[in-house]
Amino acid sequence: MSGIWGKNLRLSIFGESHAPAIGIVIDGLPPGTELDIENIRFQMNRRAPGRNKMSTPRGEKDEFEILSGYFNGKTTGTPLACMIRNADRRSSDYENISKTPRPGHADYTGFVKYGGFNDYRGGGHFSGRLTAPLVFAGAIAQQILEGMGIVIAAHAQSVAGVCDTRFEEVDVDKELVERLKASELAAIDTAKGELMKSEILKAREELDSVGGVIECMALGIPAGLGDPFFDSVESRLSGMLFSIPAVKGVEFGAGFEISRMRGSKANDEYVISDGQISTSTNNNGGILGGITSGMPMVFRAAIKPTPSISQMQSSVDIFSMKEVQLRVEGRHDPCIVPRAIPVVESAAALVILDMMLEGRK
């Protein structure tokens, strides 16, 4: 396998859920970039487990160690390496899945792909635990982008059928962005956020789980980034988003709704606003022909329900080739959406920074 991504900003992730540590190596960061370590810790805490009843009780603080590429408070320009130690491991919870794959997980596909040599504990390298290094890298990317006037924010657009207000329906300002990032479950409409929490806790009580949709917006992106066809903005961003465990769908702008519109409604007509060319609507999510238009980039990612649930389920014994019943042990989230929000923001930040560095070159 290859754990490497990027053209100008190159990332390599390593580790498994129950290995001694996980981490990331970032190559291509501009030298002399001052890092706000406290802000990185803040972003990591947003994703970290064990913060509230909507999360798994696994007690990982996600404390990171920068091993290289950082000196006297600034990046050096050489590869920046970060390690995050796994402190709260209960590997015995996963002994039975060595031969009995959990429904909805990559236990079976991983077994087939790697001939049974894969580390299955906690999902191994397939685990959402590996998103912690992505958030570390994304926090750095967001700091660099903010210096370029680009701000990224995401919220829970829906959870278990409860729908929040969409970004296009409100004025997105600094106050809203900061409130969303500080929230346990980022929702524009706080009343809808409370209903989402109730659905998540209800699913936990019923030994079940729920999914949802995360909407993300990037403001301040200049026009002209990206390329048509294979290297389009949508292609590059979708590729990164689908590397996040549990993401099963991605749409931009109006998304699938645009298929039900007529061209007269779907087209984003051009106007002059404050001496700049813009569009009166943003059904295409700030991207046309695979290239940014200068309008806000808007996309949504569909997150499936957490596959680890405590109800009895049907599976098979890989070695005896018999059908069996399985109850998943361990500590799991009843809904991944709250902790996945900073991961989606990080994915967007990394792709946008990769494109911005390309533009500068």
CA 195 to chain centre: 23
Q: How far apart are CA 247 and CA 329, in angstroms?
A: 23
Q: Where are the alpha helices (DSSP H) in 72-189?
A: 107-113, 131-147, 174-182
Q: Are 307 and 314 in contact (CB under 8 A)?
A: no
Alpha carbon of 299 to those of 23, 182, 230, 265, 283: distances in Å?
Answer: 27, 21, 19, 19, 11
Residue 308 annotated in ligand binding = yes
Residue 305 annotated in ligand binding = yes
Residue 47 annotated in ligand binding = yes
Q: Are 24 and 80 in contact (CB under 8 A)?
A: no
How many CA atoms are closer than 13 Å to the CA of 272, on its beta-carbon side?
A: 1
What is the amino acid identity at position 48?
A: A
SS3 call for 203: helix
Any bridge partners for residue 25, and if so which?
A: 12, 81
Number of H helices, E strands in the chain: 8, 18
Q: How far apart are CA 93 and CA 127, in angstroms?
A: 15
Residue 125 annotated in ligand binding = yes
Residue 304 annotated in ligand binding = yes
Is the alpha carbon torsion for 330, 155, 350, 45 positive or negative? negative
Residue 126 annotated in ligand binding = yes
Q: Are 217 and 172 in contact (CB under 8 A)?
A: yes
DSSP of 219-273 = ESPPTT-B-SGGG-HHHHHHHHHTTSTTEEEEEETTGGGGGGS-HHHHS--EEEE
Per the structure block, which two tokens stand in for 260? Answer: 């039900």
Q: How far apart are CA 51 and CA 60, in angstroms?
A: 10
Residues of the binding site for FMN:
125-127, 289, 304-308, 331
Residues of the binding site:
47, 53, 125-127, 289, 304-308, 331
Residues of the binding site for NADP(+):
47, 53
